[in-house]
Structure 1
């Protein structure tokens, strides 16, 4: 009964508010902007840009510049070093979110204010809990445990009194007591820093628990679940956790991973819901099962603007407000938030699939795409094409990355191409391996007219080269860069060949990638 009481309480607090977000989105965003400007009036940033009551959205956009992390960093560093009232009122927060560093080579550090923790991350977490229990009441999800994987925490390199880590670890560490009782493993295990030790100890701890929900990044959750099966000798997860019913996933596109999870939990018992959570904020969640679209969370302390793709590299970018977006094009996400980020270019790109309500799909990163020859292939295209090729050839893809190959430099021809490193869950027969590139190419041509035009009669782009790398290659690449675990992942696409060549070099060394 206690689980049902918690579910009802969470649903009463979340579902009516989510309904208002769906039906009155512009009003929700106007209220958020008023709140942000009112709270930050007295900060150094607010005084610099003339924050005042009644400042309109257009006046705000005219006064405040769009900033990348690098451009905002001088002010962020003051906050990270403990200076108060810089970007957000009050003392500098004692929590600092460290990004996975997929946009830049080095990690980014961002302050996590109490308001951002409570009004953004916690609120969105309660919303997801409300939706899950509402959508799947028969699963009695709260009667068991949520198995969640996160990162670790360390003293801040800027301020020894602050803690830093990926946002999942910070949120997990700060959860209220009632929420801690719903999750596993306990914090001392969940926040272990050494990833391989963490996986082993968590796997052993959760063997005999009543796990009903999984929450984490698909790549690392697979590693843990396979270890659980190895320790128990079970054929699939139904024999370990018979009431397991839901996987809350994020950070990477789920299409290539879903067959792997269905193989581990056959019978259609395991449901899937996606969340869109980043170091900068919790932005969206999947509120309709079976649809890949994510509901944009518009009353969670974040004011949104959207930069059209044509302006990604412009010196004077001009994002549009929510009411000016259209269905179809990719936009870069620009946020102003109660973490003290002002017109901040997150680095993610989305496209709208619905305007009533506002729903999006993640299309990639502003710096992660293939456009060496005018083909403009974004991460969304790549992930969909990989999933289609895997389905057509009967394989399961664990990870991949791609980069341009410049034929002209090597052969004197005028054609370019793309080179892919793909890691599979198991061996692929030679005929299927040979067909994989064909299916990949066909789906890219179907999805992307620019790519299709460049591939016409092989005049500008040749058929993709696909290398199947041994199991463990990508994990070894991440380990070598200190990026194992948490929300850390391999860049999918890049116009630089550095990541691809490093991965291919590892695959050719003949080392024991399985440890």
Structure 2
């Protein structure tokens, strides 16, 4: 283990010059990525349809190819899953990442080519490790093991050559040998699909390991921590894993969970935010203490950015890296080495830095509240919840919110369902602090709250512990991949939850 760790850490440090090259030349790197993508796919069915062989500039590419959502590409993907080749990409696609959010019962099947595995997902993981070693050269990360808390890992076989599962399953099944050596738990536990049993096995199998890093979504990581502390009787995770130094998170904002992690771990460690979705590994923090993740511009994905106000227009416009601005909301439009072409990802991002290009995920295109012109996004509410928690001493596990529409004798409001790990002494005080924080963050919300003209005080319901997990379980969506919809501009989710009885 010592020799292997030393070798891998040396290789990680040697990669730094490659990262520095594309950081210095991001626009040129993106131009080269697009050229490689178009050249590779020019003789596919999609490439012939849109004249890839005649596209010699970004302008031509954008003019020739419309923006696609999943349903637009679904007929192509279905044919590929049935065994047809050279449809969207020029190499056989044997793996598909099944992605299903809480917003729909439908599943998406994202093509994962060998190129997207090697040149995007695994390359992104290696670059994240390299950036961490550059930031923390004295790290002893690889003297121990990395605990991976993935999603539900059932692998399904369509035919002899084609399989699908969630992204975690696809990455684990295809990971290189060295990745298996430095990871825990063993594959049979990592691939378990039933989450309550899985947490138990994860706890039992990792207690005696020398865990130095953890990767996973915050909610299930916290569940695992609490179970391990119950089994061991230890005060905090630092007593269980004294060499723990790094937590890599992604998928949801870490802001509401930071205080819980600090208390449960019991010592200072580094936290790295990453943006690794089924469609690709887009970004990760190069500096754990700075806001924003370094955008990966050399990882087989060409990126365009749709200003938020363009969404829903008949012919929405996009811009490139050289035209983006700090603090504005953009919806990424991606073309990938897995065969997604001008694909609207569905997330919204903001740039936090332009030299180099760093981003943060601000929400989802369909996860916002704008019933009264308040334009509230998930980034706003996550920050407001965090501020209210600090002010009142509360700890929030999860939440969702939706508008309450105007009535005959009342104006509008935002209705919140909040599950607390630690309840505030007075929920009304918490509600007031939440409202105050949101007004300080979002001037449009503040204007609508002025003298209760459009919006009155938020309505807050305290939910029992475990409520949101029970709700997800009732929908067959319990697991690391699935998330509670934080915001909705309609009331369908919140009405369903208010009627739900575990």
TM tier, smaller: over 0.9
Deviations 1:432-456 (A, max 9, x none): x211111111121111121111111
Does the CA-based 8 Å contact 2:402-2:491 persist in structure 1?
yes
TM-score where L is the length of structure 2: 0.97
| Aligned position for 2:401 | 402
Identify the match of residue 490 of structure 2 among 481, 490, 496.
496
Deviations 1:46-91 (A, max 9, x none): 0000012661000000000000111221112112222100000022
Deviations 1:138-172 (A, max 9, x none): 34010101000112444547546422222122112
| Aligned position for 1:94 | 94
| Aligned position for 1:480 | 474
| Aligned position for 1:11 | 13
Does the CA-based 8 Å contact 1:414-1:460 persist in structure 2?
no
Deviations 1:30-54 (A, max 9, x none): 1100100000001000000001266
Give distance in 2, aligned partners of 1:298 and 1:62: 22
Give distance in 2, aligned partners of 1:435 and 1:171: 45
Give distance in 2, aligned partners of 1:368 and 1:160: 39
| Aligned position for 1:336 | 335
Give distance in 2, aligned partners of 1:267 and 1:11: 27
| Aligned position for 1:62 | 63
Give distance in 1, aligned partners of 2:136 and 2:100: 32
Identify the match of residue 429 of structure 2 among 421, 428, 435.
435
Deviations 1:75-117 (A, max 9, x none): 12112222100000022x1211011324533221111100001
Runs (5+) with no aligned partner, structure 2: none
Q: Do the aligned partners of residues 186 and 157 (structure 1) sit closer, same or farther apart at CA in structure 2, a change above 3 Å counting?
A: closer
Q: Do the aligned partners of residues 467 and 182 (structure 1) sit closer, same or farther apart at CA in structure 2, a change above 3 Å counting?
A: same
Give distance in 1, aligned partners of 2:155 and 2:489: 35
Deviations 1:364-407 (A, max 9, x none): 00011001111110111111111111111111111000001124
Residue 292 of structure 1 and its aligned partner are, at CA, apart by 2.4
Q: How does 1:253-332 map to 2 (within 5 A)?
A: 253-268=253-268, 270-332=269-331
Q: How does 1:436-455 map to 2 (within 5 A)?
A: 436-455=430-449
Residue 191 of structure 1 and its aligned partner are, at CA, apart by 0.6
Q: Secondary structure at the residue paired with 2:478?
A: coil
The more displaced of 40-49 and 306-315 is 306-315
Number of residue pairs aligned between Structure 1 and Structure 2: 500
TM-score where L is the length of structure 1: 0.94
Residue 275 of structure 1 and its aligned partner are, at CA, apart by 0.4
Q: Do the aligned partners of residues 413 and 105 (structure 1) sit closer, same or farther apart at CA in structure 2, a change above 3 Å counting?
A: farther
Does the CA-based 8 Å contact 1:256-1:386 persist in structure 2?
yes
Q: Do the aligned partners of residues 75 and 227 (structure 1) sit closer, same or farther apart at CA in structure 2, a change above 3 Å counting?
A: same
Give distance in 2, aligned partners of 1:116 and 1:17: 18
| Aligned position for 1:193 | 193
Give distance in 1, aligned partners of 2:231 and 2:361: 36
Does the CA-based 8 Å contact 1:405-1:419 persist in structure 2?
yes
| Aligned position for 1:415 | 411
Give distance in 2, aligned partners of 1:356 and 1:342: 27
Residue 427 of structure 1 and its aligned partner are, at CA, apart by 3.1
Deviations 1:267-308 (A, max 9, x none): 32x211110011111100011121121111000000000111
Runs (5+) with no aligned partner, structure 1: none
Residue 239 of structure 1 and its aligned partner are, at CA, apart by 1.4
Q: Secondary structure at the residue paired with 2:151?
A: coil
Give distance in 2, aligned partners of 1:300 and 1:159: 30
